[in-house]
Amino acid sequence: NVSLQATNSLGTNTAVRSAYISVTNPVNPPLVEGFENIFLLPQNWYTENLGGNLDWTKSSQAASQGNFSMLMELYQADANTFYNMNTTPYDLTGATTGNLSFDYSYKRFNAFTFDTLAIRISTDCGATWVSLWEEGGNPLTTVPGNTLTSGWVPTDPSHWETVNISIADSLLGFSGTRFQFRAISGGG
């Protein structure tokens, strides 16, 4: 539980939040997550909606492998808003090399939208973040052209792209390492 007490010339007010802080034990790698055996998010993953009107959701509409993927419908999102999906912490204390690999699919809404996907890493359980990979606008697209409609669903394996990120030695060796998938809405 967390409590906050604020005092000024008009008096004192206290707010209490129950179960606000949770302690999570780091998981040992390797991890493979296909979103197949989960209800919403894998255990100890969480999302952060930083001022927008939507959030990441589990979807059965399309997947690069299996039957499920995580979806962020940026065409409905407030522009210039960050939507984070954070992994559970990993224990990388014995790691001498590291690699993060994921598949994504994206088609632009129109030529004037500039959505972005960023992958970040935290070695202190999410207190600070370092960018590992970022792509936006036309370079992010896996399918050419524009949807010009209210949504798009990848229907072919060629609509997906695999990204492999080598993790720098300086980011290895920590027990509270988290990864973050950050969608930044550009209105498309």
Encode pLDDT of 13-62 as tens digits: 999 988 777 778 888 887 888 899 888 888 889 999 887 778 899 999 99
**Is pLDDT at 94 greater than 80 in this prediction?**
yes
**Is pLDDT at 3 greater than 80 in this prediction?**
yes
Q: Which residues contact 8 (CB under 8 A, 6 or more apart)?
A: none
Residue 141 backbone phi and psi in degrees, to 5 = -60, 140
What is the distance between the alpha carbons of residues 147 and 165, in angstroms, rounded to a whole number? 29
Which pLDDT score, from 0 to 100, does residue 58 have?
A: 92
Q: Mean pLDDT in the chain? A: 90
pTM recorded for the entire structure: 0.86
What is the average pLDDT across 150-168?
Answer: 92
Q: Which residues contact 80 (CB under 8 A, 6 or more apart)?
A: 184, 185, 186
